[in-house]
């Protein structure tokens, strides 16, 4: 009985939340997400290359994440509306793929490869050094919002382990004494044009290539 | 005599700005395309069959035969989906092709599209590989500007577009039907087969899914001719042809990607190309072709006294002295996989290695089939217990049980790909698991 009541309450809350969001969107929510015209132009170029609009789900999410920094409800609404699919379908995609961040990350994202070839060469020590230097564990963001530390599964650089991916750049054959320099350099990065630290579809890949 | 590296696929790697059209054409690039257009689609298909080119993505299926399965549908176009979702632990060969020689890839795509009457090629690249994606996109645009694709190929009326499509970080999308779902904008969950992609693939249309290296090899097949290409291999006689990229990682002196004939041995890969073990260590075990392939030990000998046995020629020799071919490795109870070996030395705890791999599969299982979703995480938890010294003898039986109940009970091969290496490690290194009961296993990569 208790459980049933509990679940009922959650359902009611969920419906209310969804209704709020829908109303907010209809009233021109100030938080509603829109792609910038330059990014929208990339989307418009990609669109005729696929037979369905839904095929653009992943490329469009990458574009949005490059602009917004992560994927939240406003992005999901925007993608669903743009592609003519349900928010549930978009959410299903967002939660499936590792690269879509569902919480706001730090300005710099450090992915330390933890898989076998890298771990054989000392990836564990690299992770521990980052933990010490940044004061956070994998999965966390520093208080000043500068760094998010994450563990990555094999990044296809097995011959150059241990390695990290800092934003969209690979650093290979790492030793612990190199980390201070890498951290300092990342702090100095001033790249206001692009919010997300990393995106395979976006201004940096499609316009700078 | 140490094995010689070949330069058919990697000849352009050392050229300055090797990823540009100018550099590629200076080294004879796009001449194979010219030849292919002269000879026609039928001829290309024949050469592909004669080349004995086995798929480079891991399964080793003959590429020419796969192409012949394409079943055109009068209501739909044909597609090629290039699998560049390189994510198998230990595998890092396709990335070198995309970064250092993207035009070779593009030339391969154009020839293949022409041969298969395909007008749209989707290249599904791992989202993490930003540089690879940039280089491929740039190569496609350069080729388009030069008139090698677009409305016509080198003046021959044949509309063709190549679309570089970024994934978003999911190992499972390297499985061909999962890749197709992902391309369609869905969760990357594998589909039931049949129907096979060659009949119903991307967007419901007939689709050929090939590994990127397989297609990057096509220009070489065309320039040499299928038969000549096949003869470059040491295993030409058992229909495993050509040259391919090998990788070696772990504690060797020269880890990296090398090109050599098909059929070199693991010993040659580790000691000749990889320079041997570093820091005076000795070889304990080697995973021959990406994490899903069961491990081999140098001290195990081939037992094939029967003359009809396919491995009889290597009877009494070490497992690492058997040529690396699709069928020879299968004969050893493992797989050739992607030909990228992970080397482990005498300091490596196999319990920790198993834990590392099982954590990978637990993270990467798509969650569709219960045996894999629950089983991979279960194996990871059990391995973690052994590694931390809190396991009991009953856990060892459970580990076997879980692994055996994944095998063959899932839609795709990811579950098998996790259970096979687990069972392989248990078979060869059961003693280490027994010794780890009540005793913490040493960490990988030195003291910590």
Instruction: Tell me which chain B residues have a C-beta less than 8 angstroms from the C-beta of A117.
Output: 89-90, 249-250, 342
A96-112 pLDDT, tens digit each: 999 999 999 999 999 99
∠ CA B353-B357-B358, nearest 5°, is: 115
Interface predicted TM-score (ipTM): 0.95
| Subunit contact A156:B92, Cβ cutoff 8 A | yes
Question: What DSSP state is assigned to residue B78?
Answer: -
pLDDT average, residue stretch B255-273: 97
The pLDDT value recorded for residue B445 is 87
Sheet of B243-249, strands arranged across: B256-261, B243-249, B340-345, B283-287
The pLDDT value recorded for residue A7 is 45
∠ CA A27-A31-A32, nearest 5°, is: 65
Touching check for B75 and chain A: CB below 8 Å?
no
**Residues paired with residue B256 on neighbouring β-strands, in sequence order:** B248
B89-129 pLDDT, tens digit each: 999 999 999 999 999 999 999 999 999 999 999 999 999 99
Scan residues 356-385 of B and list those with Cβ closer than 8 Å to A. 356-357, 359-360, 363-364, 366
Instruction: Tell me which chain A residues have a C-beta less than 8 angstroms from the C-beta of B443.
Output: 124
The pLDDT value recorded for residue A2 is 44
Report the C-alpha gap between B164 and B161 in whole angstroms. Answer: 10
* Nearest residue of B to residue A200, measured between CA atoms: B130
Report the C-alpha gap between B191 and B201 in whole angstroms. Answer: 10
Confidence band, pLDDT 50/70/90 cuts, at residue B80: very high
B270-298 pLDDT, tens digit each: 999 999 999 899 999 999 999 999 999 99
CB-based contacts of B168: which residues, under 8 Å, 6+ apart? A58, A61, A62, A97, A98, A99, A100, B127, B182
A interface test, pick of B94, B168, B368 with most A CB neighbours within 10 Å = B168
* Nearest residue of B to residue A173, measured between CA atoms: B255
Which one of B87, B186, B348 has the shortest CB-CB distance to A154? B87
Residue B32, both tokens: 């194979």
* A87-96 helix and A57-68 helix, angle to the nearest 10 degrees: 80
| Subunit contact B87:A85, Cβ cutoff 8 A | no
The CA–CA distances, whole Å, from A52 to A49, B79, B315 equal 9, 14, 56
∠ CA B394-B397-B400, nearest 5°, is: 150
A43-84 pLDDT, tens digit each: 999 999 999 999 999 999 999 999 999 999 999 999 999 999
pLDDT in 10s for each residue of chain A, 209 residues = 344 444 444 444 455 555 555 554 455 455 799 999 999 999 999 999 999 999 999 999 999 999 999 999 999 999 999 999 999 999 999 999 999 999 999 999 999 999 999 999 999 999 999 999 999 999 999 999 999 999 999 999 999 999 999 998 999 999 999 999 999 999 988 765 456 667 888 887 877 64
The pLDDT value recorded for residue B446 is 66
Neighbours of B75 (CB within 10 A): 7
Mean pLDDT of chain B: 97
Report the C-alpha gap between A171 and A168 in whole angstroms. Answer: 10
């Amino acid at each position: 009985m208790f459980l049933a009541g509990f679940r009922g309450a959650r359902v009611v809350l969920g419906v209310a939340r969804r209704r709020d969001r829908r109303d907010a969107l209809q009233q021109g929510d100030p938080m509603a997400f829109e792609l910038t015209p330059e990014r929208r132009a990339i989307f418009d170029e990609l669109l005729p290359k696929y037979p369905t609009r839904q095929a653009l789900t992943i490329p469009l999410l990458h574009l949005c994440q490059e602009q917004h920094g992560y994927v939240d409800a406003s992005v999901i609404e925007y993608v669903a509306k743009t592609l003519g699919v349900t928010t549930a379908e978009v959410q299903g995609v967002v939660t499936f793929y590792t690269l879509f961040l569902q919480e706001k990350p730090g300005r710099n994202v450090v992915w330390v490869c933890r898989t076998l070839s890298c771990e054989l060469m000392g990836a564990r020590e690299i992770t521990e050094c980052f933990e010490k230097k940044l004061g956070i564990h994998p999965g966390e963001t520093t208080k000043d919002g500068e760094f998010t530390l994450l563990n990555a599964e094999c990044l296809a650089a097995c011959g150059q382990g241990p390695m990290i991916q800092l934003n969209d750049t690979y650093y290979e054959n790492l030793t612990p004494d190199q980390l201070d320099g890498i951290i300092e350099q990342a702090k100095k990065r001033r790249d206001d044009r692009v919010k997300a630290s990393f995106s395979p579809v976006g201004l940096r890949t499609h316009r700078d290539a | 005599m140490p094995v010689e590296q070949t330069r058919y696929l990697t000849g352009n790697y050392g050229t300055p700005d090797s990823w540009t059209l100018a550099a590629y054409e200076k080294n004879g690039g796009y001449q194979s395309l010219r030849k292919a257009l002269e000879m026609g689609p039928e001829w290309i298909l024949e050469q592909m069959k004669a080349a004995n080119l086995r798929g480079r993505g891991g399964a080793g299926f003959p590429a020419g035969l796969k192409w012949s399965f394409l079943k055109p549908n009068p209501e739909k176009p044909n597609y090629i989906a290039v699998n560049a979702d390189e994510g198998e632990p230990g595998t890092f060969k396709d990335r070198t092709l995309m970064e250092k020689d993207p035009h070779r890839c593009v030339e391969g795509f154009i020839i293949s599209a022409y041969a298969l009457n395909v007008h749209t090629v989707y290249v599904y690249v791992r989202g993490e590989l930003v540089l690879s994606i940039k280089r491929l996109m740039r190569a496609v645009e350069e080729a388009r500007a030069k008139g090698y694709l677009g409305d016509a190929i080198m003046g021959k009326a044949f509309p063709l577009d190549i679309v570089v499509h970024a994934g978003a970080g999911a190992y499972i999308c390297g499985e061909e039907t999962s890749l197709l779902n992902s391309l369609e904008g869905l969760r990357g969950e594998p589909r039931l087969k049949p129907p096979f992609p060659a009949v119903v693939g991307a967007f419901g249309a007939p689709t050929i899914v090939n590994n990127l290296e397989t297609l990057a090899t096509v220009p070489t097949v065309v320039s040499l001719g299928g038969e000549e290409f096949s003869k470059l291999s040491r295993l030409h006689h058992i229909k495993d042809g050509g040259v391919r990229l090998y990788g070696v990682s772990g504690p060797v002196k020269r880890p990296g990607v090398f090109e050599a004939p098909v059929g070199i041995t693991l010993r040659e890969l580790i000691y000749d190309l990889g320079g041997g073990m570093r820091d005076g260590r000795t070889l304990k075990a080697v995973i021959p072709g990406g994490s899903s392939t069961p491990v081999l030990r140098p001290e195990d000998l081939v037992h094939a006294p029967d003359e009809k046995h396919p491995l009889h020629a290597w009877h009494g020799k070490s497992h690492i002295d058997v040529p690396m071919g699709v069928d020879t490795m299968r004969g050893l109870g493992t797989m050739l996989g992607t030909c990228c070996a992970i080397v482990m030395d005498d300091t490596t705890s196999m319990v920790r290695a198993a834990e590392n791999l099982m954590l990978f599969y637990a993270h990467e299982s798509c969650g569709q089939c219960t045996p894999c979703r629950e089983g991979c995480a279960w194996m990871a938890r059990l391995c973690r217990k052994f590694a931390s010294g809190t396991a009991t003898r009953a856990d060892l039986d459970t580990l076997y049980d879980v692994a055996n109940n994944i095998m063959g009970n899932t839609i795709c091969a990811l579950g098998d790909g996790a259970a096979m290496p687990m069972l392989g490690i248990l078979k060869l290194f059961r003693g280490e698991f027994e010794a780890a009961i009540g005793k913490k296993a040493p960490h990988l990569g030195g003291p910590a």
